[in-house]
Amino acid sequence: MLFRRLLPATAVAAALSLIAACGGASDDTLAGKAEDGKLTIGIRFDQPGLGQRRLDGKYVGFDVDVAKYVAAQFGVRESGITWREARSADREKLIASGDVDFVVATYSITDKRKEQVSFAGPYFETGQGLLVRYTDDEVKGPETLNGKRLCSVSGSTSAQKVKDQFARDVRLVEYGQYSDCVVALLAGNVDAVTTDEVILAGYVAENPELLKLVGAPFTTERYGIGLAKDDAKGRAEVSAAIEKMVSSGEWRSALERNIGQADVRLPEPPKVTEK
């Protein structure tokens, strides 16, 4: 638990005795769920540089490093983490059902989502962008997508935002994962892929001779860590963990380690506002 780290040894002993007498933290809080040294965390499995399951079974990326850091503040080592895939359409359901304890999965904070879940953070800020084939000179930004086929994932608002604000005649195509959209783009089945620029940059870094980003980011997206709506204590503790990761320098190190080679400007850490 976070507060144990702030107490002297005698106070820790007294606190532990009190917890034992009272049966420990409530199981409904994140601290209570972490008391056995285990947590189930939702991440993306298909986003290079952010959240990815490699062929060797290892989970890597900036979101993964953020999740591991937060878990460590609750006394949970990496060996105690069970990773669960959290696709865009499933994140609220996974949190509400208790199938995951929290989600770190390029999860933009929105008022609509806050009706169902609670957010800590933000821990990262980016903007929506466009990915096209390297040889494409027609698509230069969202306003040039009329008559084009635009791909995004089910449960994401990115493609609809383009249609509502920039190109009413765009044809929307949805897949379950961004990697499916990229495959469709390379095969010529869609003309562009849209989501947050930092996500798209990971695919450019993997295929620099085949893919490119076009235009400037045209929204502001603030990534938060999603957890149970009624766990106010957990939200405050996770936000405190994010602030500690930033002040320690580990946030910057994790960002450079995972995204530093991608074709995107590395931002400064955003101010944590969800506490």
Ordered per-residue pLDDT tens for the chain, 275 residues: 443 444 454 444 444 443 444 445 567 899 999 999 999 999 999 999 999 999 999 999 999 999 999 999 999 999 999 999 999 889 999 999 999 999 999 999 999 999 999 999 999 999 999 999 999 999 999 999 999 999 998 877 788 889 899 999 999 999 988 999 999 999 999 999 999 999 998 899 888 899 999 998 998 999 999 999 999 999 999 999 999 999 999 999 999 999 887 767 788 999 999 98
Q: Is residue 267 part of a domain?
A: no
pLDDT score for 25: 58
Is residue 228 included in any domain, yes or no?
Answer: yes
In a domain, 19, yes or no: no
Are 117 and 29 within one domain?
yes
Whether residues 121 and 188 fall in one domain: no
Contacts of 52 (CB under 8 A, 6+ apart): 44, 45, 46, 59, 60, 61, 64
If asked whether residues 132 and 251 sit together in one domain, one would say no
Same domain for 113 and 7: yes
Shared domain for 84 and 166, answered yes or no, is no
What CATH number is attached to the domain comprising 174? 3.40.190.10
Do residues 49 and 151 share a domain?
no
Q: Does the residue 273 lie in any domain?
A: no
Q: For residue 199, give its domain range.
A: 128-214
Distance CA 122, CA 86 (A): 18
Q: Tell whether 7 is covered by a domain.
A: yes
pLDDT given at position 161: 87
Q: Are residues 8 and 96 in the same domain?
A: yes
Beta strands 46-47 and 149-153, pairing class: unpaired
Tally the domains of the chain. Answer: 2
Q: Could you give the CA distance from residue 52 to residue 201 in angstroms, rounded to a whole number?
A: 14
221 has which bridge partners?
126
pLDDT of residue 159: 85
| 158 and 177 assigned to the same domain | yes
Q: Note whether 95 and 150 are same-domain residues.
A: no
Q: 109 and 37 in one domain?
A: yes
Domain membership of residue 275 (yes or no) is no
- Is the CB of residue 117 less than 8 Å from the CB of residue 129? no
How many helices (H) and strands (E) in the chain?
10, 13
User: What whole-number distance in Å separates Cα of residue 192 and Cα of residue 186?
Assistant: 10
In a domain, 268, yes or no: no
Q: Could you tell me the two tokens for 106?
A: 């390029």
pTM, entire model: 0.81
Q: Are residues 48 and 108 in the same domain?
A: yes
Whether residue 145 is found in the same domain as residue 84: no
Is 269 part of a structural domain of the chain? no
CA torsion, ordered 185, 186, 191, 192, to nearest 10 deg: 50
Dig out the tokens for 6 from the structure: 């702030």
CB atoms within 10 A of CB 249: 9
**What was the pLDDT predicted at 17?**
41
Task: Indicate the SS3 state at residue 59.
Answer: strand
